[in-house]
Amino acid sequence: MAYNLLKGKKGIIFGALDNKSIAWKVAEKAHAEGAKFTLSNTLTALRFGQLDTLAEKTGSLVIPADATNVDDLNNVFEKSMEELGGKVDFVLHSIGMSLNVRKKRVYNELDYNFLNKTLDISSISFHKMLQVAYKMDAINRWGSVLALSYIAAQRTLYGYNDMADAKALLESIARSFGYIYGREKKIRVNTISQSPTYTTAGSGVKGMNALMDFTERMSPLGNADADECANYCIILFSDLTRKITMQNLFHDGGFSSMGMSLRAMKMYNRSLDGDLDIE
Ligand SMILES: NC(=O)c1ccc[n+]([C@@H]2O[C@H](COP(=O)([O-])OP(=O)(O)OC[C@H]3O[C@@H](n4cnc5c(N)ncnc54)[C@H](O)[C@@H]3O)[C@@H](O)[C@H]2O)c1
């Protein structure tokens, strides 16, 4: 069901790869809610992903960019304003990648060139995006910028590796730039800290199946899926959330406030000896 929450709004959505991507779901919902937007991803993603299908479905222009490249980002914002007929109202940064994770380098054996790439792609690209938009004055007053994060920024989760450091930096950038953008232009900047979700990036996380089972058992409302995450993004792009900024907003079924749940305790006991009283 659509509510016209983004009627007349314009945006840029970075990071839709295939129909499992969180950004893909955001694009579908933004379209249903009346927004017009452009889509961006790397040339490799355009070659191997399915972005053309999404572009056709939502009537959107695709503008290739490596989000670590400032010239590419300048081009995305310039072309988007041309295509959409003026400044944008929302931007989604849905980008993450770690070569250390891909190449199975554990956290105490990091390759530092890979680490620099992880930080550049997954976090500093967010600063670059914000700085490009700020200098170009590309976002309307009361606009909304969002990036996607994960609770490994605050808590250590086995296997998340250098992406934990990347997410901590990403959330810090949202606060630091959020202050300046809010003060100067009344634009909000937030991160959503999403449950583990089955996507291409998500599947790269070590022990993803066990992690998702654990967080599902620990969360009173269960894991949040990509569709639900997209709903939350839409509300944060809408005018209903104008005074929310510089926040890391957990969207995780309650996981971030839990220590131990009955469902997790039952599972844990079963794997011990099954005899402990859990009431
Ligand atoms: N899937 C999860 O479990 C989960 C949980 C919390 C947060 N997140 C975050 O959500 C965001 C979206 O990931 P997803 O799960 O939808 O997976 P995804 O693989 O569909 O999306 C990741 C995107 O990053 C893009 N990307 C990589 N390098 C890039 C570069 N240099 N320039 C531009 N784009 C680049 C990829 O092409 C891809 O489209 C990421 O920031 C991810 O860390 C994911």
Determine whether the shortest distance from the Cβ of 115 to ligand 1 is under 6 A: no
Rg of the chain over CA atoms, in angstroms? 19
Ligand 1 pocket, 98 CB below 6 A? no
Residue 88, classed as helix, strand or coil, is strand
Ligand 1, pocket-test mutation among 22, 28, 150, 214, most atoms within 8 A of CB: 22
Kindly state the average pLDDT of the residues 7-16.
98
Give dist(CA 138, CA 20) in Å, integer: 29
| pLDDT tens track for 103-158 | 999 999 999 999 999 999 999 999 999 999 999 999 999 999 999 999 999 999 99
Asked if residue 41 has its Cβ within 6 Å of ligand 1, the reply is yes
Could you tell me the two tokens for 66? 């490596």
- What token pair was written down for 207? 């022990």
Question: 0.85 exceeded by the pTM?
Answer: yes
Tell me, what's the pLDDT at 271? 75
- In order of their start, the domains of the chain are 10-272 (3.40.50.720)
What pLDDT, on the 0 to 100 scale, is given for residue 178? 98
Cβ of residue 253 lying under 6 Å from some atom of ligand 1? no
Phi, psi of 221 (to 5 degrees): -100, 0
Helices (H) and strands (E) in the chain, counts: 12, 6
> 3-class DSSP state for residue 13?
strand
